[in-house]
Amino acid sequence: MEPTTRSIARTYSDRVYPDPWQKVEDYQRVQAYAAEHPNAGRTAVGTALELPAGRVRPWLNGGRPDPVRGIETASANGWLDPECDMAGALVKLLAHVLAGGSINETFVPAITIGRRVDREAIEAAFAAVGVDTHCRHANSDGRATELYPATDASVLGRCLVAMGAPQGAKTALDAVPAVVWESPESIRRRFVEVYVAHRGLHFETKATTRIQEERPKSYIVDLHKLISESVSSHVSYGERGITISANAARELGFA
């Protein structure tokens, strides 16, 4: 399951390596060769592995490429090839980001507090993946209050991007990320509950709710399918969005 070492590595950019994963592999080759030949210097290692000595030198002196650091951080937090509980927590956090948050240019994810999604719910979502949160814009009249990770923020954001979250604008996303469809039914249902909590419009006089998205039609179709498969009551869609019937909304916990 995403994220994997390879997909996280590929969220990085590099001036030398078109594929940053190859840089990770070269670093690993250098470390393996140095372990077997402890007396070999940078020139000998570089010659043996057909790598420039200048590239090898920092790796022999304790330096690590950024993708390697990111992979190590993700692994230490349990985010790589996550087991059941962590996988569910990451998919739930993905729902928060897709429906009510964003990932900025430095890969830091942030989630906006909403009518149905309070601060405690967002804090709990971050806590489930092992991070505390900071809050910003709490006293600003012109900006929404957001929570973001207090530690390992950019690595967590890269994990979410590897899972299918867009970095920056979300309007081009054309399908529900594959990792959601690959999850067990209970996790898909929780994804839907979180998504609708963020995006579902609240009506004072009826329990019906609507989701309106400025995204490609293929995304609307995919999201409609996901919601429909999570409830037994009627859910419809059209060009302007998705309508969740009162009974379906109640099934999702919205009275």
pLDDT tens digits, residue range 87-133? 999 999 999 999 999 999 999 999 999 989 999 999 999 999 999 99
Q: In this model, does residue 141 exceed pLDDT 80? A: no
Q: 246 pLDDT band (50/70/90 cuts)?
A: very high
pLDDT (0 to 100) of residue 137? 82
Q: 164 pLDDT band (50/70/90 cuts)?
A: very high
Which residues on adjacent β-strands are paired with residue 146? 112, 136
Kindly report the CATH class assigned to 84-252: alpha beta
Q: What is the 3-state secondary structure (H, E, C) of the chain?
A: CCCCHHHHHCCCCCCCCCCHHHHHHHHHHHHHHHHHCCCCCHHHHHHHHCCCHHHHHHHHCCCCCHHHHHHHHHHHCCCCCCCHHHHHHHHHHHHHHHHHEEECCCCCEEEECCCCCCHHHHHHHHHHCCCCEEEECCCCCCCCCEEEECCCHHHHHHHHHHCCCCCCCCCCCCCCCHHHHCCCHHHHHHHHHHHHHHHCCCCCCCCCEEECCCCCHHHHHHHHHHHHCCCCCCEEEECCEEEECHHHHHHCCCC
Q: In this model, does residue 150 exceed pLDDT 90? A: yes
- Cβ-based neighbour number of residue 126 at 10 Å: 22
Average pLDDT of the residues of the chain: 95
Q: In this model, does residue 17 exceed pLDDT 90? A: yes
Q: What is the pLDDT of residues 57-96, one digit of tens each?
A: 999 999 999 999 999 999 999 999 999 999 999 999 999 9
pLDDT (0 to 100) of residue 220? 95
pLDDT (0 to 100) of residue 202? 84
Q: 157 pLDDT band (50/70/90 cuts)?
A: very high
Q: 207 pLDDT band (50/70/90 cuts)?
A: confident
* Average pLDDT of span 159-172: 95
Distance CA 100, CA 191 (A): 12
pLDDT (0 to 100) of residue 225? 97
What are the residue ranges spanned by the domains of the chain? 5-77, 84-252
Q: What is the 3-state secondary structure (H, E, C) of 25-90?
A: HHHHHHHHHHHHCCCCCHHHHHHHHCCCHHHHHHHHCCCCCHHHHHHHHHHHCCCCCCCHHHHHHH
Q: In this model, does residue 214 exceed pLDDT 80? A: yes
Lowest mean pLDDT among 120-124, 202-206, 210-214, 244-248: 202-206
Q: In this model, does residue 40 exceed pLDDT 90? A: yes
